[in-house]
Structure formats: structure tokens, C-alpha cells
A and B are shown apart, each in its own frame.
Chain A
Amino acid sequence: MKSLIYLLLGAILIISCKKDLAPISGCTDNIAINYNPNAITEDQSCNYFSTTPYVIETPYGFPDMKIPSDNPMTVEGIALGEKLFKDPILSADNTQACINCHQQNFSFSDPNQFSTGIDNIQGNRNASALINLGWNTSFNWDGSSLTLEEQAFEPVTNSIEMHNTWMNVEQELNSHIDYPFLFKQAFNINYIDSSHVVKAIAQFERTLISTNSKLDRYLKNEEQLTISELNGYAIFNTEKGDCFHCHSTNMFMDNLFHNNGLDIEPFIDIGRAKVTSNPLDNGKFKTPTLRNVEMTAPYMHDGRFATLEEVVEHYDSGGKYSTTVDPLMKKLGVGLQLSNQEKKDLVAYLKTLTDNEFIGSD
């Protein structure tokens, strides 16, 4: 009891000092988001919970984005998500933010083969580029998460990434000078919990949309491709190169899992089978989008290829046989038999998928 009185006295002292001993005025309505419990006189400054809806326009050749009904997109939620994504407060020792492994100038991926977490431990998978995620039906190379909200829980507590606990994150955020108000503004909550942290991050991730590449402008008749790029376009989109069956549509991915002939058995990383426990899924990985692929080196789930030229060599070789290799790799053993010029053309085409605006260098 006594300590409470001291505390109160202390609080009054601090507040009165701040306000120059003037009578405390502020918002006195307890349902307002800026309700000030210490205010005595109402100063008409009350703000009430109201968010600004954010509409995602469907890019040409994309389906409408499916947004979870319990996490509608708002300007406030997205801004909060972006702040969280870039804030090392989510990691145990406040040194690592999501953006450290998902760097914007590398299309939100990591230029290192394996990312290093706060404890200086490396994983065994290459950090995915975060592009057009709102159209993915699963996340991570093996599809282990089904929503962006669910995915965002992982890196925070993963011992080889941010190695934090959600209890600790909640504590730090709730005692932060900005976050309580920002969460109140975005979600109208008084206590910040993990589920709202991931909701905000997911909202931000859904805005990472890249559809302004040279190829997009070509398809809209706004820019011409070079002869070499056009040759690459034809190789990619016919059974000659046969890239389109997996890297399909304007999204350049099919939301499915394939074994594209990288390895013979036994697989070091069984990929999709980790999630499904089905041996027919051994060695299958989610088809990554090829948008901005120029910026997302190194390539494949384990970052084994440093350059696009190496990737093209892999496909040109026809790939390696294993029991789960996809029948779409139908030139296995024979190879695509591309000429040196055709390989260059294919790489040139892949580079037309670069969106400089998206990576923030336009």
C-alpha cells in the first residue's frame, strides 16, 4: 500500500515536471486510442480507432490475392509491420531484424549461401526472396507454413535465427515508447501479443509486390526486348527449354513441389517429405518465383549455384536421376542441347524479370 502511494507520488511528480505543473489535460474518454488516464481536463484531442483500408490491385495475369478474413489490410497495419520487419527488437539480443536476412537490394533475400543467426550458427537453406508472397499457398522451401502469419512465428524463436522467446518479445514491445500506441492504432488492442505482431508483419509482406520488370513492360507494349532476350523468351516458354511448366504464368511459379533433378539419392535434405512424410515427396521443393532472380543469388534451396549461368548449365545437362525426379524433366539423360548462344539468351531473358523499382534502386 505504502509503496503504491510512493509510486503514485513519483508518477505525479514526473508528470507534473513534464507538464510544467499545469493541470493535466488530455483525452479523458477511455475508449479513445489516446486515452490518458492521468488527464483531468478534456482537451478535445481524442482519437478513436479507425483504420484506413489498403487495397491490393491485382496485377495482369495474377489471380486475386487471398487475404485472410481475420487480418484485413490497413495502412496502419502495414506501416507497423514494416517497422517490425526492420526492427532488431524481435531478436534475443536486439542485433538482428528480418531485413538482415531478407535484404531489399537483394529482392529481400540473403546474398550469402546460408544466413547466420544471432548465435553465429548457419542453417542449411538459402533465405528465400520475399516477392509476391500473397499469392503463395505455402511458405518455406518445403511448404511447412500455410500462411504468412504462421510463418512469421518461426524466425523469431528459431535457434539458428533470432533465437528469442515470444514472452520476451511481448514484454519488450509492451514497454516500448512507440509500439503500444502503434498497435492500438492498427488493431485497437491494449496489450501487444504475438498474434498481432505476426499479423502486422504479414500485412507488410503482402505489399511486397513486384510486377514492373522489363518483361512486364514488354508485355504491355511499352518496351522492346532485344533479339537475345526474345530468343530466351521462346526457349523458356516452349518445350525446348521447358521452364514454363513449373515457373508458370506471370507469377513464374506454380505453388507446387518438384524434384528438378539436382541430386541423386540419398538426399541430404528431403524437402517436402519433411512435411508430408510421404517418400514420393523426397527431394521435392517449392518452385520459387523467378521474378528478380538476377538479384537473388545464390540459387536453389541450398544456394548451391552462384550464378544464373550455373543454373542454366544444370537444366541444360538434363539433371540427375532419382526415384522422385519430375517427369517434366523429360530430357534427363539427353539434356536440352542448347547452344552457347541459346544459354546466353536464356540468361538474358531471366534478367528481363528484374524490377529495379522493387529493390529500391530506381
Chain B
Amino acid sequence: MKKTLLLISAIAFLFTSCDKDKAIVTDITINFNHTVNGSELMTNSMIYTNEAGENYDIQTLKYLISDITLHSENGSSLLLDEVHFIDISDESTFSLTYNEVPNNNYTSISFDMGLDTAKNISNKYVNDDFHTTMFWPEPNGGGYHYMKLEGAYNNDSTFYNTHTGGTMGADYSFNHVENISLTVDNDLGDVSVNINMEINNWYNSPNQIEFSSYGMGIMMNMMMQMNIQMNGITDVFSVTVDK
């Protein structure tokens, strides 16, 4: 009895000592941060001003980020998540973690704002949390909202809804690529990648968008979907890496 115990502990010891020589694994956490004019978003307070000079608050922000992918020097890529839903009223949606990233020299990260045509199909994500909140009705092209950004402007009782999506089946999702330098090797350890959405920039340059003209809805307005997409591509997203 004693002998076997000794043997077992010896073997266990051996294994653990082997472990010590083993590589440290790297888990990547993607954080989704939100700023307005550079400072962290505060919901439900009318403290923001857009380029058109309108004061506004933010009460609702829900959006989909898809195909979050790391690209390496040698041309291989690693899909971290197919679709991630972020809801400003639910902190648990502000990050996602990918465990045990393989060693490689990663040189860029890319993701889509919204869902591309292959994914933006009615009922494709029927069992996902976001299905009911983000669904986009058939008579308007079907699929899902990419983003719902809502609040009040000028005074507490005039509202704006900025809902983006595939109006009449057109694809207004866009890809964001950011160069990073991230070498995952045997002793790097865990890493955070922060994806920041600068909310005010949805309404500014190159296209200035006023709530007074478009607050009541743009779901059927292809021109506005395009303008907002262009603003989004220009300077809404930025990425930083914390090692």
C-alpha cells in the first residue's frame, strides 16, 4: 500500500516537474470599450454634442462584431469568434476570451462591423441571445440589425434611433483591419486586445449627420446607411494591445 502510494506520488512529481518546462499558454481577451469624444461612455446623461451642434445622450447601444480574426506573418489566420453581441446594459458582453492561442507572429487583427451577406440571413442565429433583439424584418431585407444606437437629443422627449443593417438586402457591414505586433511564444502569457468604438464619430466626418433630420429612423434609407458606413470606416474603431 505504502509502496504504491510512494510510486504514485513520485510519478505525480515527475509530471509536475515536466510541466514546469512546458510552455506558458496564452489566452487572448478581447475587450470592447466605448468612448464619446475620447472619454468613457456614460449612459443616460445628456452631455454629448455632435458635429451638427446637437446635444444628446445614449440610452441603448447594442451591436454585432463578426469574424474577429488574428493574422500571422506566415499568412495563416486564427478565427477568435464568428459573431459577438455587445449590449451596453450587460457587462458580461464587454469581453470574450479565446484560450490557448497557438504560438505565432501575429501581425494584424481584423473584424467586421455587422454581418456580411453570407451571415446576414433571417433566423440564421435563431438560438443566439441576440436573435430577438437584433432581428431585422423581412419586408426590409431580413437578417439582423448591425447596431442599435438610441437616445434623446436636444431635450429629454425627442428621440433618435440609429439602426444600421442590410437595408433591402444590401451589405453595409465593413471590415476593420489593424496592424499589431504580437508574438505569442512559450513565455508570453495572457494578452488583452482592446477594440474601442468612438461613438460620436458615427455622426461626424466625412458625413455630418443631424438627429433632427434622421433621428426618426434610417432603416429604409440606403443613402444614410452608406453615409454612416463611411463614417464608421473612417475613424470609429481603434485597437490597442496590452501584453
Do these two chains interact?
yes
Residue ranges of A at the interface with B (Cβ–Cβ < 8 Å): 60-64, 233-234, 237-239, 242, 244, 248-249, 251, 253-256, 280, 321, 323, 325, 327-334
| Cβ contacts A to B, 21 pairs, < 8 Å | A61-B123, A62-B126, A63-B126, A64-B127, A238-B140, A239-B161, A239-B216, A239-B219, A242-B217, A248-B133, A249-B132, A251-B132, A253-B132, A254-B132, A254-B133, A321-B156, A327-B151, A328-B150, A328-B159, A331-B216, A333-B157
Given A255-B132, A328-B161, residue A238 in contact with residue B44 (CB < 8 A):
no
A286 to B123, CA, bound (A): 23
> Min CB distance, A211 to chain B, in Å?
14
Q: Are the CB atoms of B135 and A248 closer together than 8 Å?
A: yes
Q: Are B139 and A327 in contact (CB under 8 A)?
A: no
**A-binding residues in B (CB < 8 A):** 44, 59-60, 122-123, 126-127, 131-133, 135, 137-140, 150-152, 156-161, 215-217, 219-220
**B217 to A, closest residue via Cβ:** A239
Q: Measured between alpha carbons, how far is A239 from B161 in the docked complex, in Å?
A: 10
A327 touches B150 (CB 8 A): yes
Complex-state Cα separation, A17 to B169, whole angstroms: 79
Q: Look across to chain A and name the residue whose beta carbon is closest to the beta carbon of B132.
A: A254
Determine the chain A residues whose CB is within 8 A of the CB of B156 once the complex forms. 321, 323
Q: Check B139–A234 contact: CB distance below 8 A.
A: yes
Q: Kindly state the separation between the CA atoms of A255 and B122 in the bound complex, as whole angstroms.
A: 19
Is B161 a contact of A330 with CB atoms below 8 Å? Answer: yes
CB closest residue in chain A, given B43: A280
B160 A327 Cβ-Cβ under 8 A: yes
Cα distance A234–B219 in the bound complex, in angstroms: 13
Pairwise interchain contact B157-A61, C-beta atoms closer than 8 A: no
Given contacts A330-B159, A331-B216, is CB(A249)–CB(B131) below 8 Å?
A: yes
- Report the bound CA distance from A255 to B134 in whole Å: 13
Best-surrounded residue of B122, B135, B150, B215 (most CB of chain A within 10 A): B135
> Given the complex of chains A and B, what is the CA–CA distance between A239 and B148 in angstroms?
13
A332 touches B140 (CB 8 A): no
Please tell me if the beta carbons of B157 and A321 are within 8 angstroms of each other in the complex. Answer: yes
A253 to B160: give the CA distance in the assembly, Å: 22
